[in-house]
């Protein structure tokens, strides 16, 4: 008997979409926490300001890192 994937087993499209949405929103939340932490550390020294451009760049970099980690774990590399 051939094993079935989640989508071949029946009407699980909603479940798969929900799992993907949870992963995306989780990565956004973790990236936001990391970015706020980096902003706090950056502004702590010498009264520097963390610009909106730096905030967005830091958020994108941490999102990419979360995506790489998630892909490594979910892809079976771990």
Residue-wise pLDDT for 24-59, tens only, equals 899 999 999 999 999 999 999 888 999 999 999 999
pLDDT band at residue 17, thresholds of 50, 70 and 90?
confident
Contact 63, 28 (CB under 8 A): yes
Contacts of 35 (CB under 8 A, 6+ apart): 55, 58, 59, 62
Q: Where are the domains of the chain?
A: 40-68
Tokens 């956004």 locate to 28
CB 65, CB 27: distance < 8 Å = no
Q: Residue 7's pLDDT band (boundaries 50, 70, 90)? A: low
Cα angle 32, 71, 76 (rounded to 5 degrees) comes to 140
Q: For residue 8, which phi and psi values (nearest 5 degrees)? A: -80, -15
């Amino acid at each position: 008997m051939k094993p079935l994937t989640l989508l071949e087993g029946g009407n699980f499209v909603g479940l798969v979409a929900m799992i993907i949405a949870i992963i995306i929103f989780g990565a956004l939340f973790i990236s936001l926490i990391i970015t706020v932490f980096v902003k706090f550390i950056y502004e702590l020294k010498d009264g520097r300001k963390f610009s909106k451009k730096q905030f967005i760049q830091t958020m994108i970099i941490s999102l990419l890192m979360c995506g790489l980690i998630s892909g490594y774990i979910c892809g079976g590399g771990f």
